[in-house]
Each structure stands twice: as structure tokens, then as C-alpha cells.
Amino acid sequence: MERQEILKQVNEVFMDVLDNEDIVLSDTTTADDVEEWDSLTHVQLIVEVEKHFKIKFTSQEILTWKNVGEMITSIENKIK
Amino acid sequence: MMENKDIPTFKELKKILKQTDTSSLLKIKVALLGDSATQLLVTALKGEAIRRGFCLDLFEAEYNQVERQILDPTSDFHAFKPQITILFQSTHKLLTHFEELPPQQRNSLAKDRVDFLSDALSLIDGKVIVYNYPEIDDAVFGSYANKIDSSFVYQTRKLNFELMNLAGTNPNLFICDLSSIQNKIGRDTAFDSSVYTSTEMVLSIDVLPFVAQRTMDIIASLQGKFKKCLIMDLDNTLWGGVIGDDGLEGIQLGHGFGIGKAFSELQLWIKQLKDRGIILAVCSKNNEQTAKEPFEKHPEMVLKLDDIAVFVANWETKVSNIMQIQQILNIGFDSMVFIDDNPFERNIVRENIQQMTVPELPEDPAEYLEYLYSLNLFETTSYSANDKDRTKQYQVEAQRVGERKHFTNENEFLQSLNMVSEVEGFTKYQTPRIAQLTQRSNQFNLRTVRYTEEDIQRLEADKEHYKCFSFTLQDKFGDNGMICVIVLEKKDKDTLFINEWLMSCRVLKRGMEYFTLNTLVDYAKKEGYKTIIGEYIPTPKNSMVEKHYTNLGFQPLENKENQFVLRVEDHEEKQVFIKKKE
């Protein structure tokens, strides 16, 4: 899957979980840029992304991402 | 994990919470004390509450303050004054604690925790729901842990066992069976290691709706909302095949290999429900005689006609038949469950009777039972030994309805019933039944005050302030058991206030309310009271008694809405056909 396609699908998961159609993610988006994205919804986002791509992140990954781009890279590596 | 169409996902619960205006819902004050991160559990609980028509006013203690909040009488928790307190201490924290104990103290882990809980209970007002402990097999001893009382596995199981004992003796304590949930859906689904590591949440997102469901089952039941009746379709629901086409020999039922076993085991389960006090009814599109044949003749049928309170088999629509069943039983649709293998019938019933629970049974009958287990439809917060007689009482009621048709004159009919009522206070023996009546009765209930067994004993003991009455009713068809409960409050030397007046709807239109009032007036006269005051507190369910007091000759009290007064000397005795048992 192309990186761009992954980003698009992650974006859809975010819109669904956070119940906000206006979210536009890019590689540099961080939690500070999205209003509803807090430590609580973060858990939910990760679980839904995992379900969507049928993958499992390690806790190390979850704790170290600095932005959406790094999450996309993790996904990319797992579904290759 | 098995697909479950009747249980919402966490995402759906969150949406419900976000999108619902809760201002018109009944508010319940609940405190949640936990030793792990509980914010998402709170979201799930609130969402699930809304689905059942409640709004949780929820106090969430700060992280890991269970002991402090309970033991300190000036804590925020005590100031909040919850009606219900949920204690959620996790197996993870228990394990950490266990590992820190000196080895020689490890075999007292369960006892210490139960002792703490027992002390804590004495400091908490209201009801307490304790989450029990889903097991973690730490594999330190392997299966040998079963032989070692200082192993964590041994202590966790002992703890869960001792919690049951504690709950058995404490009427205000209810165990929410988290351990059962984990058994059902599996530890690897119920617990997510990476979520736990990054957030301190011990419940996975996927298990949250199940925990919320089981918790709200208890809370709703405490509010008087629970299932009383199971209505069953027959063909391909209670047995395999179609009795009208396949005949008695052709339907699938019975032990051994094959699908017949699934139906037999389903029936065994239903029979247990019936013995526990759930009323069974049949609603089937069939000729009545054909439909009854398996019940009468099939050797593998577990359920007999005797187990069924109302049997309706004809070619009318299921909706109208279910309405007929509801009229005979005289209980709310929201206390009924309907099972049917046919998705089309289920949908029609669901659309027309929205309050009714209609599980989305799996396509394969082999999966029915496990699926029904997962829904936990029949939660209860009370149980008394005479619950099992309920079916008999409803069958007798169906007979009475038949008998009534032969009499043109109502009085003549009532007289023919040879009714006898036994009037007593709240005896110890009856305590569970009385408490249960106050929790179950919704329709003929003037103030809908719910009492626990403890409350009942307290009221009876406090002779200075209260006078309690219980009434039974027996007639030529059978014994209805206890059907009416009265609590009089002695306001002052002249005035009695009716704190509780409830009656079972089974005995409507028998003159029982007149008989009861005569008893109250006799008591008032004997003790020198001049007036009796009654109050009607409206709820969504008790409009049938809106005019109760005016019908009995009470006058509305000025400047007190919904309160009514009867001057004892103005009371005119109505003719009743119930004799007092001496």
C-alpha cells in the first residue's frame, strides 16, 4: 500500500473515532493540532487503527511517535 | 470473539453519550472508586446507562485513592453521597501487592482484602457494587498452584469465593462478575498489554461495553428494571424443524449427536430460569393442538405445558399475540424478552413493541445458548424461595379470567372466590419477599420507595415511628402469596402518613384496596389517630394509581400537591368480599 493511501485510511479512522469530519492529517500533524485528540482518545485511535490494518503496535512504538508521519511509517513497515 | 449484535461497541456508546440530551432521564448518583485508569470505563457506563433510560451523575475518584476516599469521613466521595458505589480494584494491582508481600504473608492475601472490604462496607451508605477479580495465571507454579495456598492463582480464586460469601450475608453488597466476563470472552480480548502499558487501563476497549453492560444490569435491577418473562417461539427455536410439517417423530430434539442436543440444552436452561421465577410464555404461529403435541408427547421435551404460564398458538400476528400475553400477565413490555429464530418476525416485533428485548439470535441454533449467556438478560438483585411458584400463580390467574366470564354480576363473582387475607406485620420470615416487592412493583405503587431487607427489618423494629402491614390473598383457585405492603409513618399523635402502599397487579379488581384501607382505618381508630395522609408520586409507570386516594374517599390536601387526607371518622366502609384470616 502506498504511503499516501495509508494516510488517507488513517485519516478516515480518526474522523470516525473522533466524530469529526473536518480532520485533515498530514505527516507533521501532532495531538496538539487536533482538538479531540487527547491521551484518552489516543488509546481508542490506536486500537481502531490496529483493527483497521489488522496489525498490532508495540508499546514502545505507541510511546515514541512524535507525529502522524511516524505512525504511518510503523504501519508501512508492518503491512509490507 | 463471537459477533454480538445486541451489545454496542465502545465507539457507539461514546456516540450515544455525546448525542443524547439526558435532561429528561432518571438521574442516579454513582461513585466509581478504582485503582487503575477508569476514564473510558466512565464513558462506557454513562453511554450504557442512557441506552436503558438513566443518566448517571458519576463521581470518579482520583486515581488510586480507594482506601483513602472510603476511610476518610471528610473525603469528596463521602461528601458526594452516592446512591451506588462501584469498587473496582484490579487484579494487576493485587498481583503487584502480592509480589511485594513477604512470602510468609502471601497466603493471607484474600483474607486481608475481604477484611478490608468488610470494614469499608460499614463506612459506605447505599448500595455497593464490587468488581470481582478476573484471574491472571502468573505461571509461577504452573497448575501446581492449585495445591499451594500461597500462590497467586490460589489466593485470587479464594478471594472471589470469599467475596461471594460476603455478598451472601450483606444485602447491600452486589458482586459484578468481571471474572465471568473474562471467562466468556477470553483474557487476550479482555486485556490489552500495550494499552495497559501506555495508559494504566486494565480493561481493553473491546471489553468495556461488556463491563458496562454487566454493571448497568445490576444498577437497573436496583431501580426495579429487570426481566420477568421470556416469550418463546417454537419451531426452530425450542426444537429443530417445523412440528406442523415434520410431525412429532420428525422434529429434532434430544441428546446424542446432532442439532437436537442444542435445543435440549436450551430447554434445560429455560427450565432453570422458570424455576428461578422467570415467567415462560409461548407465542407461535401454529394450530394450538399441533403446537402442544411435543409438550405432551415428545419424550425428549424438557419443558412441559405445566411450565408455561401463557400458551398462545394461532395464526394471528406475533405482535397481537404478544400484546395479549402482556395483558394476561399485566407486566411491562420492558420486562419481557422474546426469542424467535426468524429475523423477519423479530424485526416486526421490535418495530411495534420497542420496549421489548428481542435478541438477535445467531443463525446456527448450536450457538443460541452461548449467545444468550453473553447477553446476561436475567440479572436480578433479589431472590426468594417462592419465586419458583410464580408460574403457578399466573396460570391460576388465566383460569380466574376464564371463570369471571360466567358471572354477570361482579359481586357474585367476587363472593364465589372465597377470598381470605392474612394480615401481619413484617415478620422475619417474610423480609426477603417484602423487600423484593418494594423493588419489583412499579405500577400499583404510590410512592415507589425501594427498600432493602435491612430497611425492612429497621422499619419493623422502629415501633415508635412506624407501623407495618403485609397482606396475603388466597382464594379457591390458589394462594397468591404476599400481595400488598403498607408502611405507616406516625407523623404526630393525630396523623398517620402512608409512606408505602404497593400492591401486586395480580390481585387488581378484587376489592383488595378497600380491604386494606379498612384495616388501616381500624388501626387508626384503635390507636386514636384522627387523620390518614396519602401521597402519590408520579413515575412513568404508576399512572394507574393516580386517582387511587380520591377513589378511596380521600380529599386533596390544599397547598400540598399530590397529597390526600382522610379523616378517620368520615370513612365509609365499602363492601368487600375478603375475609380476614384469624
Q: Which residues contact B427 (CB under 8 A, 6 or more apart)?
A: B470
The answer to whether the CB atoms of A16 and B198 lie below 8 A apart is no
Interatomic CA distance for residues B148 and B107, integer angstroms: 9
Contact (CB, 8 A) for B252 and B260: yes
The answer to whether the CB atoms of A59 and B40 lie below 8 A apart is no
At residue B344, the pLDDT reads 87
At residue B513, the pLDDT reads 92
At residue B412, the pLDDT reads 79
Largest CA distance in chain A: 32
End-to-end CA distance of chain A: 8
Q: How close does chain A come to B194, measured CA to CA in Å?
A: 5
Residue B564 pairs in a beta bridge with B534, B556
Question: Please, is B110 exposed, middle or buried when counting C-beta atoms within 10 Å of its C-beta (0-12, 13-18, 19+)?
Answer: buried
Q: Which residues contact B446 (CB under 8 A, 6 or more apart)?
A: B498, B500, B501, B502, B534, B535, B536, B537, B542, B545, B548
Residue B423 pairs in a beta bridge with B471
Contacts of A63 in chain B (CB under 8 A): 197-198
The answer to whether the CB atoms of B195 and A40 lie below 8 A apart is no
Contacts of B195 in chain A (CB under 8 A): 43, 46-47
Q: How close does chain B come to A56, measured CA to CA in Å?
A: 9
Taking CA–CA distances from A46, the nearest residue in chain B reads B195
Q: How close does chain B come to A9, measured CA to CA in Å?
A: 18
At residue B79, the pLDDT reads 94
Domains and CATH numbers, chain A: 3-79 (1.10.1200.10)
The answer to whether the CB atoms of A19 and B18 lie below 8 A apart is yes
Angle between helices A68-79 and A3-17 (to 10 degrees): 120
Q: How close does chain B come to A76, measured CA to CA in Å?
A: 19
Contacts of B198 in chain A (CB under 8 A): 43, 59, 62-63
- Tell which of A35, A44, A64 to mutate to test the B interface (max B CBs under 10 Å): A44
The answer to whether the CB atoms of B199 and A39 lie below 8 A apart is yes
φ, ψ for residue B482, nearest 5 deg? -75, 130
Q: How close does chain A come to B361, measured CA to CA in Å?
A: 25
Contact (CB, 8 A) for B361 and B340: yes
Taking CA–CA distances from A51, the nearest residue in chain B reads B206
Contacts of B192 in chain A (CB under 8 A): 47
Concatenated DSSP letters of B197-230:
HHH---S-TTTHHHHHHHHHHHHHHHTT----EE
At residue B430, the pLDDT reads 87
Q: What does each of the 582 residues of chain B score in pLDDT, given as a tens digit?
A: 556 889 999 999 999 999 999 999 999 999 999 999 899 999 999 999 999 999 999 999 887 788 889 989 899 999 999 999 999 999 999 999 999 999 999 999 999 999 999 999 999 999 999 999 999 999 999 999 999 999 999 999 999 999 999 999 999 999 999 999 999 999 999 999 888 988 889 999 999 999 999 999 999 999 989 999 999 999 999 999 999 888 898 999 987 778 999 999 999 999 999 999 999 999 999 889 999 999 999 999 999 999 999 999 998 889 999 998 998 888 899 999 999 999 988 998 999 999 999 999 999 999 999 999 999 999 998 887 777 777 777 777 766 765 665 666 778 778 888 899 999 999 888 898 899 889 888 889 999 999 999 999 999 999 999 999 999 998 877 778 889 999 999 999 999 999 999 998 777 778 899 999 999 999 999 999 999 999 999 988 788 899 999 999 999 998 888 999 999 998 988 889 999 988
pTM above 0.80, yes or no: no
Domains and CATH numbers, chain B: 10-222 (3.40.50.1110), 229-375 (3.40.50.1000), 407-580 (3.40.630.30)
